[in-house]
Amino acid sequence: MTKPTILLTYPIHAEVIRKELAPRARVRIARSPAALRREIAHADGLITRVFDPVDEALLSRASRLKAVGNFAVGLDNIDLTACARRGIRVVNTPDVLTRATAELTLTLLLAAARRVPEGEALCRSGRFKGWQPDLLLGQQLQGRRAVLVGKGRIGTETARLFQALGLTITWITRKDSENTIRAKLARAQILSFHCPLTPDTRHWLNHSRLQCLPADAIVLNTTRGAVIDEKALISALKSHRIFAAGLDVFEREPRIPAALRRLPNVVLLPHLGSATAEAREAMARLVIRGVLAILGGKRPWNEVNP
């Protein structure tokens, strides 16, 4: 039997590809959008990263394609309806990156609350003149109120970690009315995003909702940048309308606005949520096994139901 051709937009994990994929498939790497457009016509399976668009334009060239595996849990780069229309099945990488992403949210929270970027910059600048009673005072977290948007796996795990710090947890759900959302925001000393990016969640945190937050609020985002109106957030941080933010994702990634980069009260990370060796290896196995399972006529547990 001829092996299927699996096209990857990046060699996601050399060892897993060598052990799990290469023996079972012809592996092709498309390193540029142009190469992807060219190669997709010959692919039975496609493995993509978070920002590779799998849209009608690409799918219209994909005459053999049966399976798409997103090397991510978020699926906002994939037109699931267009895939379903063409009988193309999709898998992603839930579960295996939950803990890594929750731990990174905690990292952002601690760094923002204790002004770690400012302290680090001071040490590196050579301008640290010694201990002072009022140097870079931050927030003690125990007993603070955290409000989380998105009660999926990552939100739930993050809540567990927050509880271990002594935070109280409130959820904002899709059922909440605008009044309820605003009342919850008014008490949110920490506001953390764990929802997927959809038309409903785009710019969920806009200028008007930002005005509801208390002055000591810390905003955290490890999901997708566009759930927050970045311009509105910059202006809230600049005017000290809120205390700080911790951002792992940005509205027009990889572009980070200069105005955001200049602010001292924001922690910036380059989309590292799932970036642990453990999570990335497990993600590679899961996505490869899922695509191979679909091509072998099976139904993997991580198949996405449009």
Q: Which residues form the interface with ligand DGY (CB under 6 A)?
A: 50, 72-74, 97, 273-274
Q: State the catalytic residue, choosing from 13, 271, 280, 289.
A: 271
For ligand DGY, the nearest residue by Cβ is 74
State in angstroms the smallest separation of the CB of 224 from ligand DGY: 7
Q: State the catalytic residue, choosing from 20, 103, 253, 303.
A: 253
Specify the 3-state DSSP secondary structure of 27: strand
State in angstroms the smallest separation of the CB of 203 from ligand DGY: 18
CB nearer ligand DGY, residue 17 or residue 72: 72
- Token pair for 25: 């498939």
- Given 3-state DSSP classes, what are the helix, strand and coil percentages for the chain, each rounded to the nearest 5? 35, 15, 45
State in angstroms the smallest separation of the CB of 172 from ligand DGY: 20
For the question of residue 153 being annotated catalytic, the response is no
For the question of residue 224 being annotated catalytic, the response is yes
For the question of residue 13 being annotated catalytic, the response is no
CB nearer ligand DGY, residue 50 or residue 210: 50
Which residue reads 């600049």 in tokens? Answer: 238
State in angstroms the smallest separation of the CB of 93 from ligand DGY: 6
- Token pair for 228: 């927050």
Q: In angstroms, rounded to a whole number, what is the distance separating the alpha carbons of residues 78 and 88? A: 11
Tell me whether the omega of the peptide bond preceding residue 254 falls within 30 degrees of 0, making it cis.
yes
CB nearer ligand DGY, residue 89 or residue 194: 194
Q: In angstroms, rounded to a whole number, what is the distance separating the alpha carbons of residues 42 and 5? A: 7
CB nearer ligand DGY, residue 165 or residue 304: 304
* Burial track 22-36 (b if 16+ CB lie within 10 A, e otherwise): eeebebebbeeeeeb
Give the catalytic positions in this structure: 224, 253, 271
